[in-house]
Structure 1
Amino acid sequence: MFSALADHACARFDRVMRHGLRRVLMQRNELDRLARAEHERRLEAVGRYTDPAVLAEPDRMLAPPDAPPRLAPLSVRRLADGRATHFTFASPYRPRDPDYAREYAGYDRVDTVHLHAWQHDRPAPASILLAHGWCVGHRRLHEIEFSISTLYRDLGLDVYFYVQPYHSARKPTSARFSGELFPSTDLVRTNEAFIQTAQDVRAAITAILRHSPAPLGMMGSSLGGYTSALIASIDPRLSFVVPIMAPASFAYLLWDHGEGDPFRRQAEALGMTRERFHQSWALHSPLSYAPKVPWERRLVVTARGDALVTDAHADLLWEHWQRPRRFRFAGGHFLQLGRRDYIRELGRFLAGLDIIPEVR
């Protein structure tokens, strides 16, 4: 009874936050200034990302660089049995769209990747790469969200935390807040930023596996869960994947929550439909690909009271992935009351795969 009431309360809080986030997103709605002809030109530009040949072979755009990145330690602090290091490296990404290339050149900070690492002195049985959600990205916040001390100490993992483009330390000075520019209603920028994300993350994977050949998995929440599902769909080097509260399609998510709001009315007036919107972002949707991570090494995590990434949106990914192991925790998208429960489930999951010893 209490659990159901808590989930209901968290869902109500999610709806309030969802309304606030959409209002913030609409303040920079790129559709406001687009005429139908310009919108159609943008859709033609999006065609480079949705070409069937690209979707059949996504490494044409999402491939990592051949050489591992040169990690530069920005800060290092000793731990009892290891060290915590804040690394940076140059993003390997280069814009594909010439108009966006000029826009991108005007943003500072985005071309530097920030990767936080908690590494044991002795070889760890496995490593995990974490990705955060929209509008956040500060290391200390996500140390709490992901219980990084538990991952490092109790599960014995080497832990890595990736900062998404346009967020936190990668937020351009021209942006009002972390994540304002990505994801956004700009079809081209969102595609380009996911290309950058994929290339950055895959470069980080190369660096991590160079440091330790132990199994490496990826876990992320919300936008980070979507990112984790994308990388698991295109990179066979991941040994396991745990998307948390992840939509299967960002286009479906924005569209479905936009019923009756100005953005959707403007989009519909310009000839956009739900499926056309999804197709415009098909390059980075996990629904476009068969996952590279084996079925038994996929764990989908959802919140019972999530009113942002609802069961309808999360189920699309779970069904597309052929209904792998799934875990529901108490709470909502923002108030994750049972987040420690999914960390315990992660321990059971990895122990069951013989990746780590059984955890008490």
Structure 2
Amino acid sequence: MTECPRIQPTDYCNEDLPRLSQPWWQNLPSHFHALPDHFLADNDTRWRIDYTASLDTVARTGLACMAGAAALPASLNFRQQKEERELVRFYQPFLESGDPQLFFSAPEQQPEIQYHPVSSYHFQPDDGQAHTLSFRSPFEAKNTALRERYRQHKRNGTAWAQYWKHHGEPRPTLIMIHGFVADPYWLNTRWLALPWFYKQGFDVLLYTLPFHGRRKGALAPFSGAQFFSQGMAMLNETFAHAIHDLRIFMNHLREGGTPAMGATGISLGGYTTGLLAALEKDLAFAIPNVPLVSIMDLMKSWFPVNLQFPLFHKVYDTDLAGLRKITALHSPLTWPCQMPASGRMIIGGAGDRFAPPKHTDLLRQHWNDCHVHWFPGNHLLHLDQGCYLRTMRDFMRDALAEKSIELSA
């Protein structure tokens, strides 16, 4: 049995990080991305944090090169620069409304969900069934000026998920949202020990974000490349699409009789989980795993993407606070969490340099100082994972008990 790490929730002691205040995009210091992350730890734990942090920095640089190369052609198109500045103005009234449901509105249609068999190398439960689910998404871009452009992504118009369901009555369902470029079901199945959660009594839904996996465009250089490479206006629509299609899957689960749902997600999936928690009041729990909370500040810390910031400032004719505001519509920091405090928890990596601990701590503050479980690994290498998996399970059981729902293993 893996022993728990020696990092306590109070061991993150970044005195340079200010208390979060709204509007966060104006009140975060401009050097937030460069603030150090301090942990109180013994020598052995400190060595593991520092070693995994150095590994993360190397891997991050490789991913940043891929993401930056994918985004650069659109940024250098001068005609598109002027158009992009006009397009992003459309979203400001939604941000200023104070109501996230105006932009992330509930689906108006409930399309028929198709069930498909899963490949033999995917998880096959002994006491249930695994299916791949799909539907043709009725999503339309909020900005009418972008609707035709968004429709042109034909493959992205079909939503996909994998669903593991026990025999008999529906169980509480764990919704898992993958990270940027990390969409394969087999990868997330093993990385996050999802079969173990299934054996604890949960049904499981693995959701595929837009422009990932089967939703990737035929000419995209890699899965997820089009998520961030089409400008900030399209990014807003992409997050709206992500939430819209996920809600259709959630409605399908409700219609099927699932007694409760909760969500977890890693990295970009953790960001999306935080956003979902601001929209869905009936989630039993939300557990972002190594989440980011400010896309622009994350990019500022990623070499060589950070070298493109002079171009971003030129394209959008604004400073860092203005760039944060353009992307604030989908940030979990912008909107109040709708879930009870008993359902909020965050998993953070002390050596994470993809989404550094300061991002986790900002979300902790925003979620009224909710519980954080720190592990001494990085974004990709989750050391002492067994401990946080058991902590998650116990937390999820307690959150279900708050709703008088018992989990049957």
If the length of structure 2 is used for normalisation, what is the TM-score?
0.81
Q: 1:52 to 1:261 in 2, by over 3 A?
A: closer
- Counterpart of 2:104, as a letter, is L
Counterpart position of 1:214:
259
Structure 1 residue 206, shift from structure 2 partner? 0.8
Q: Which of 115-124 and 74-83 deviates more?
A: 74-83
How far apart, CA to CA, are the structure 2 residues paired with 1:259 and 1:73? 42
The ranges of structure 1 where at least 4 consecutive aligned residues each deviate by more than 4 angstroms after the TM superposition are 52-55, 355-359
Query: Residues 68 and 305 of structure 2 are in contact (CA less than 8 Å); yes or no, is this contact kept in structure 1?
Result: no
Q: 1:347 aligns with which of 393, 398, 407?
A: 393
Counterpart position of 1:108:
154
Q: 1:63 aligns with which of 80, 97, 105?
A: 105
| Residues 213-268 of structure 1, C-alpha deviations (whole Å, 9 max, x = no match) | 41210100000000010011111121110001111222221234368943112223
Structure 1 residue 303, shift from structure 2 partner? 0.7
Q: 2:215 aligns with which of 167, 170, 174?
A: 170
Secondary structure of the equivalent of 1:86?
A: strand
Q: How many residues align?
A: 357
Counterpart position of 2:76:
33
Query: Residues 173 and 258 of structure 2 are in contact (CA less than 8 Å); yes or no, is this contact kept in structure 1?
Result: no
Query: Residues 94 and 102 of structure 2 are in contact (CA less than 8 Å); yes or no, is this contact kept in structure 1?
Result: no
Structure 1 segment 96-245 matched on structure 2, within 5 A:
96-153=142-199, 155-184=200-229, 186-245=231-290
Counterpart position of 2:342:
296
Structure 1 residue 309, shift from structure 2 partner? 0.9
Q: 1:43 aligns with which of 51, 75, 85?
A: 85
How far apart, CA to CA, are the structure 2 residues paired with 1:257 and 1:104? 28
- Counterpart of 2:236, as a letter, is N
Structure 1 residue 186, shift from structure 2 partner? 1.3
- Counterpart of 2:64, as a letter, is R
Query: Residues 178 and 207 of structure 2 are in contact (CA less than 8 Å); yes or no, is this contact kept in structure 1?
Result: yes
- Counterpart of 2:368, as a letter, is Q
Structure 1 residue 56, shift from structure 2 partner? 2.1
How far apart, CA to CA, are the structure 2 residues paired with 1:105 and 1:125? 36
1:332 maps to 2:374: no
Q: Which of 197-206 and 61-70 deviates more?
A: 61-70
How far apart, CA to CA, are the structure 1 residues paired with 2:138 and 2:299? 29
Query: Residues 219 and 228 of structure 1 are in contact (CA less than 8 Å); yes or no, is this contact kept in structure 2?
Result: yes
Structure 1 residue 123, shift from structure 2 partner? 2.7
| Structure 1: segments with no counterpart, 5+ residues | none
Structure 1 segment 76-87 matched on structure 2, within 5 A:
79-87=125-133
| Structure 2: segments with no counterpart, 5+ residues | 1-42
- Counterpart of 2:225, as a letter, is E
Query: Residues 55 and 283 of structure 1 are in contact (CA less than 8 Å); yes or no, is this contact kept in structure 2?
Result: no
Structure 1 residue 124, shift from structure 2 partner? 4.8
State, as a whole percentage, how many aligned pairs show the same letter. 24
Query: Residues 14 and 334 of structure 1 are in contact (CA less than 8 Å); yes or no, is this contact kept in structure 2?
Result: yes
Structure 1 segment 2-41 matched on structure 2, within 5 A:
2-28=44-70, 29-30=72-73, 32-35=75-78, 39=81, 41=83
Structure 1 residue 45, shift from structure 2 partner? 1.3
Structure 1 residue 52, shift from structure 2 partner? 4.5
Query: Residues 266 and 291 of structure 2 are in contact (CA less than 8 Å); yes or no, is this contact kept in structure 1?
Result: yes
Structure 1 residue 41, shift from structure 2 partner? 4.1
Secondary structure of the equivalent of 2:103?
A: helix
Work out which structure has the larger RCO, using CA pairs closer than 8 Å and 6 or more positions apart in sequence: 2
